[in-house]
Structures are given as structure tokens and as C-alpha cells.
Amino acid sequence: MSSKTAARKAYGVKLRTPKGIDLIKQLVTKVDVVVENFAPGVISEMGLGYEVLKSLNPHVVMCSISALGQTGPLAMTPGLISSDRPMRT
């Protein structure tokens, strides 16, 4: 681990459970940045959209990553190769 990441922590949380949602809401009060890579709109449907997180921590920065953007005709297209499809090299 480099000195740049020594103070960072990563967690694996089951977001499809009420306990997981509650844990994230607790953690958001202690973090600077939240990064998510769900399809557009999914994190909000879970009750963890930016407005909710901002109400818990007014200084939080949220980064939403998607392969083909948050809007537009291809926004809901998956950006990763499914594990049942071979990768092409």
C-alpha cells in the first residue's frame, strides 16, 4: 500500500438489504467522497441518491461512474462484459 492510500478504507456492503442501506447512511457522515458505478438511477432507487447523502453530510462529493454516460440513448447499456461471455483480445 502506498503512502497515498494508507489512510483510505474500502468496504463491501450488501446494498440490497435494509441493514446495508443503514450502514452506508452511517458511513456517509464520516466520508468526503462516495463513488458508485450502478446504472443511472439505481442508487437513487435504493434510497442513497445524492440528495439523501447530502442531507446526511452537506460536504460529501458523489461521483457516479457509468460506461456510456448518465443520459442519452446508450446510458442504460451495461459497460462490463458479462462473465458468461468470453473476452476478445
Query: How many angstroms separate the CA atoms of 22 and 43, rounded?
Result: 14
Taking only the tens place, the pLDDT of each residue in 59-70 is 999 998 877 778
Taking only the tens place, the pLDDT of each residue in 15-47 is 889 999 999 999 999 999 998 888 888 899 999
Q: Look at the pTM and tell me if it is higher than 0.85.
A: no
Query: Is the per-residue pLDDT at 3 higher than 70?
Result: no
**In which band, very low, low, confident or very high, does the pLDDT at 83 lie, cut at 50, 70 and 90?**
very low
- What's phi and psi for 23, nearest 5 deg? -65, -45
Amino acid identity of 4? K
